[in-house]
Every structure is written in C-alpha cells, then in structure tokens.
Amino acid sequence: MKIAVFSAKKYDKEGFSQWADPSLQFHYIESRLNLEHLKLAQGCHAICAFVNDDLSAPVLEQMSVMGIEMVALRCAGFNNVDLDTAKALGIRIARVPAYSPEAVAEHTVAMMLTLNRKLHKAYNRVRDDNFALDGLLGFNMHGKTVGIIGTGRIGLATARILKGFGCKLLCYDIKPDPELAEHYTSLTALYQQSDIISLHCPLSPQSQYIINANSLNLMKEGVMLINTSRGALIDTKAVIDGLKNRKIGYLGLDVYEQEADIFFENLSEQMIDDEVFKRLLTFSNVLITGHQAFFTKEALQQISHITSENLLAYASGSFNGNELAN
C-alpha cells in the first residue's frame, strides 16, 4: 500500500523507518495538504496527515475521486477533518488518541515555570554578564490554584504533576475523570478562583474561543493563561486586550489560531505578515513555542508506531478503536 505523508519532516521519516513494514510504502511530501497539493498523492491508496493539513469537504471529495479511501492522522486532534463528509464518502479516518500525554503535560508545566520564574529572561541576562535580580521576582507554585479545562489524558497528566507541586486543583470537563472527582467545579468558578488556567480540551464548535472577553472578565487580575491544546480555544484579540489592561499577567502559547502558515517552518529569512501574532511577540510576559509540546522521542515513537498499525489495520480490513469514521 502506498501512502502519501503530507507535512513531512525529517523526524517523520526517521520515525516511520523504525516501524518499516514491506507492505507500507511511504511517499513523503513536505507540502501541507490542501486542494492544490492533493494531486501529489496521485496513485496513493491512503494519506497520512498532521494537525494543520486541510481535510475539509472539498479536499475529501477530491480524494474520493482519486480513489483514496483512508486517512491516517498522526495526531490526536481531528478538528481539521470534516467527519460528516468523510463518512458520507466512505473514507476511513484513524488517529493517534494517546501517544504520550506526559510529553504535552511536562511542556505545559515547563511554560508555567518559565513564565513564573522568568527563566528565559534570566538566561539572556547572564549571557550579557548581567546578574541583577531586579525584574525576575516569581511566586511559589505551592498553594496556588490551577484551573484545568479538559481532563482527558493530557489534562490528567498535567494535574498529577501539579499535585506534586502542592497546587490546589480546579477542573472542568463534560466527561469528568474519577481520579479527579473531588476537584471538579463549574467553568465560572474555575475562571474566578484560579491563579493559573491551563487549556487541555479539544477544539469543537462548543469550545472555540472558550477564552474570550467575557471569560477574561471573570478571571483574577494577573492570571496566568497556558494553551498547549488548540489555538482557536483562545480569541487572540481578546487576549491581547487582556494583556494590555493587565488582566492577564502571564501568557504561554504552544499553539496559535492562525499557526498553519507559521509553525513548523523556518521563517527567519522571511517577513511574517500576521500582525496579530507580531503584536503578541511585543509583550515581555508572553512565551510562545512553535507547537512543540508533543515533540519528545517517546511521543514520536508512539505516533509512528500507532499510525503504522492503523494503516496495516486498514489494509487488512480490521480497523481498531483508533478509527473515527465508519
């Protein structure tokens, strides 16, 4: 079976080579999947896609015309897939629901600590022989209230780490986890009482812009906000207003709602035209990483392994629980 791997990077090739199966022939394409680039998958039986690849109705319809009947997502999220169209066309969709929740959870806490103790600023100061402590004052994580929105595998892993710091947890999820039963509260109470808020829910029509002007108004002055889930959970313009009026004291983003044309690429020799993103970079209390929270050796191994297993399951006609659309 020939598979077109879109948005392919060096580490994707290395990962899939570890699980090489003679029946799987990977064709690596650096371009992001969209209607224009889909033609590069001509002759392939399946497509392997990533978080910012376009799997909207027009792309899926053209895939069906080309005879492609399977998409293997090498990620957990599937907000970029029109599942209704896929089901109507008989295109099978599989994902990697749990590759390494600890990878994202640990990056989340690393962002909290970096913003709090201003490690990024201290690093640059010391390199300039500046050892003054002015402007580097942080706070104890112990005893602080952390609100976790979304308590799936990643949210749960984050909660476990923060418990070890001695934080008080407040959680919100439409499907509560028994391990965190005592910590659930309403979304309003979480906004009002949390010193730190961390987002770990999937992107859906219900969760889009869950952080907006109204929810920000409910939060404490100087709240820390962390998003390592999906960019469009946050209304970026509202968050910029929150930074300007100091409602938000710290902002950590590993994702951005318009990241598709920015992240995963080296743009150091180019001009970034996104004025909203450039405005975020002007704030000294904002820390942005380029969708790297998942990026550990263990996570990449799991992603390539499970994705390969999904492709083999499709080829053999025995799909498993990773399938999204029948």
Dump the DSSP string for 34-97. STTGGGGGTT-SEEEE-TT--B-HHHHHHHHHTT--EEEESSS--TTB-HHHHHHHT-EEE--S
Q: What local confidence, expressed as pLDDT, does residue 20 receive?
A: 67
314 CB neighbour count, 10 Å cutoff: 22
Q: Which residues are catalytic?
A: 230, 259, 291
Dump the DSSP string for 226-273. EE-S-GGGB-HHHHHHHHHTTSEEEEEES--TTGGGTTTS--TTS---
Specify the pTM. 0.91
Please enumerate in sequence order all residues whose Cβ is within 8 A of that of 130, keeping only pairs 6 or more positions apart, or say none: none
> How confident is the model over 177-195, as pLDDT tens digits?
999 999 999 999 999 999 9
Q: What local confidence, expressed as pLDDT, does residue 324 receive?
A: 67
Q: What local confidence, expressed as pLDDT, does residue 311 receive?
A: 93
Closest CA to 2 of 311, 233, 321: 311
What domains, with CATH codes, occur in the chain? 2-99+297-325 (3.40.50.720), 101-288 (3.40.50.720)
> How confident is the model over 14-42, as pLDDT tens digits?
999 887 678 899 999 999 999 999 999 99
Please enumerate in sequence order all residues whose Cβ is within 8 A of that of 92, keeping only pairs 6 or more positions apart, or say none: 69, 70, 71, 86, 314, 319, 323, 325, 326
Q: What local confidence, expressed as pLDDT, does residue 77 receive?
A: 85
Low-confidence ranges of the chain (pLDDT < 50): 326
